[in-house]
Amino acid sequence: MLQAVTSDTTFGLAPTFNTDTGFTLALSPDKKAFTATFSGLEAILEAKSTPIVTRTFAFAIPLVDTKPGDEIPFFVQGTAEFENGANVHMVFTVNDQSTTAYFPVQPKEAFLHRLDYKVTDAKEARVTVLLLASRDSKADVEAYLNVSTIDTDIAKH
């Protein structure tokens, strides 16, 4: 059960750090929600390429007036496509808490994963995504994994 977030909790106006310029961050007027939209956060494994491909992205956004123990839901969504013999994984982290997605069954699927971040004494939400696509080095199979958005809304659980 999520602990209600204090009514004063908000995000800062802009990221204080990011590792890439390929995203936009839309912050709600009340600063309680944001959507990060990506145009190229992807891992592409081609048949004649290296057998392991990774892609990482990170940004930090201030947390304002949070209380330890509050929980903030984060949602990460994207698409996984892969041929038999390839594997794709996604690790999504907010500060010291992570969720992992492994896509073993469907060769093509959209995904939505939730991480309920339990607030500590951190002054920022440090959001990190790791994408991994792999196959046996002798195989010629392909894989694709992307993240299209990361969303959160402090007011909704």
Question: Cβ atoms within 10 A of the Cβ of 141, count?
Answer: 16
Output the CA torsion 135→146→129→22 (10° steps).
Answer: 130
Identity (one letter) of the amino acid at 78? G
Confidence of residue 22 (pLDDT cuts 50, 70, 90): confident
pLDDT of 127 higher than 60: yes
pLDDT at position 4 is 55
In percent, the amount of the chain with pLDDT more than 90 equals: 77
User: 146: closest CA among 88, 94, 107, 100?
Assistant: 88
Question: Could you tell me which CATH number the domain at 11-152 has?
Answer: 2.60.120
26-48 burial string, b = 16+ CB within 10 Å, else e?
ebeeebbbbebebeebbbebeee
- pLDDT 10s digits, 28-48: 999 999 999 998 999 999 998
Q: What are the boundaries of each domain within the chain?
A: 11-152
pLDDT of 97 higher than 70: yes
- pLDDT 10s digits, 6-20: 568 899 999 999 997
User: Which residues 6+ apart lie within 8 Å of 137 measured at CB?
Assistant: 51
71 touches 120 (CB < 8 A): no
